[in-house]
Structure 1
Amino acid sequence: MTDRKQKMRRIARRRREALAHDRPSAALTGAIRRRRRRQRPPRIVVAPDRVWLVVRTRPRWSARVARELEEAGLATFEAREEVERVEENGRRRLVREPLLRRLVFVGLRDDGELRKAEAHPGVDRVLFRDHRAVVIPASVLQVFADALTGHGTEGEGEAVSAVLFALGDAVRVTQGPLVQAAGIVEAVDPARRRYRVAVEMFGRATPVDLGEEQIEADPEPSPKKNI
């Protein structure tokens, strides 16, 4: 018997043994994994009849806040994206991680629901700009949700980022050697999710290129004349 025939018989035997133990073969397992990765998450429908505000949560509370406010009757949306993680044993798995650091979108009907959201123990504050709450149009938020779940056009998800951190906004650095430094957004690159921020260093404004995850809205902005 040739070596090739012996090899084919060993492969056939292993496949039979795998089927006998209700285990798919390695080739079949790979095909199943690829099919699973191609499946899109279900579409998230943003309620168009609500006013959507942005709340900042305590560290590592975003998922809990979204869940508990939803259970209390408020509409919520926590932006998450699927990323592939490689474990120590080499196994790869898909996980859904928060996309906007400590931010949750909350859909409200009236002032009563606003007070309920503000009073939640995991909520730090509602985001304001120019003394007014930051309101995200439901249509913009729907485009963002569709982009995250694969139901929209690639790149449309940058719409909300442009709303949250617009030109002239006061921000504070949260990561890196400039942590806690305050600055003003001078330029936005939505495609790369990068921001040029004028940070006060050595008594003058110095432009610094920062990622979306490295900045947050500054609750106590310095006067712009000092930046």
Structure 2
Amino acid sequence: MTDEVAEDVGQDESTEDEAEASLPAAPISPPRGLDDDFEINLNFDADEVTESPAEPMDFDAEVEIDKAMAELHADLESKFGDWFVVHTYAGMENRVKQNIEQRVTSLNMEDYIYETIVPTETVVEMKNGNKKEVTRVFLPGYVLVRMDLTDESWGCIRHTPAVTGFVGNANDPTPLMLDEVESMLRPGIVAKVAASAQGKGKRPVKKIEVQDYQIGDSIMVIEGPFAGVPGTITEINPNTQRLIATVEFMGRDTPVDLTFPQIEKS
């Protein structure tokens, strides 16, 4: 009789242990002081545990820019006409663009003059101790025009108010190479990629480097559309890690906004 009772008791304890083992684990409560949105990723196969909500994801800006530039290249190749550079009075670039577009319509030149672009870039400026992101003309005094060059189309552009002429041979200008057009449009593409990343909750990975440069230093541009061109530093902004250098472009001294990694002392 005693043996039977002991056997029954052992069976009951075993059954209780199995029942407890089969119960689902109690939910994990967030530690005190954390928001209700706090979550823990219980993927133990992962290398590390992550918390949510997470910081905006980093992404490789250069990869995204390369993709956008490849799309630009394909788009430019698919279009009719050649690209020419028109010289304007400084500060009149957008007005010239409007004037050209109006003249194209009024003179019925749509079959010869297709597109007018003012190359721009987005930069961070410091004013009165405040940072402000602004979009500005990338090449002051220049406008890009895609067109078929004829006497009539040449006259339409040349006699547009605030246009001083075509860059190069004034009467028989030479069209730009495709890579030259891409270099002029690249800063605008970079700005679009950055804006798209911010809209998706991402942020570009930036490597900050501090270099010892002074205003008046002679430098050589080593990266970007002006690579291989010498210049002179005229402004330095250590807060944004950028500087302004004067370089020679198409026979004119042109101010160019650069980052420290894009230059070296010459």
The TM-score by the shorter chain falls in which range?
A: 0.3 to 0.5
TM-score, structure 1 normalization? 0.46
TM-score, structure 2 normalization? 0.41
Which one has a bigger Cα radius of gyration? 2
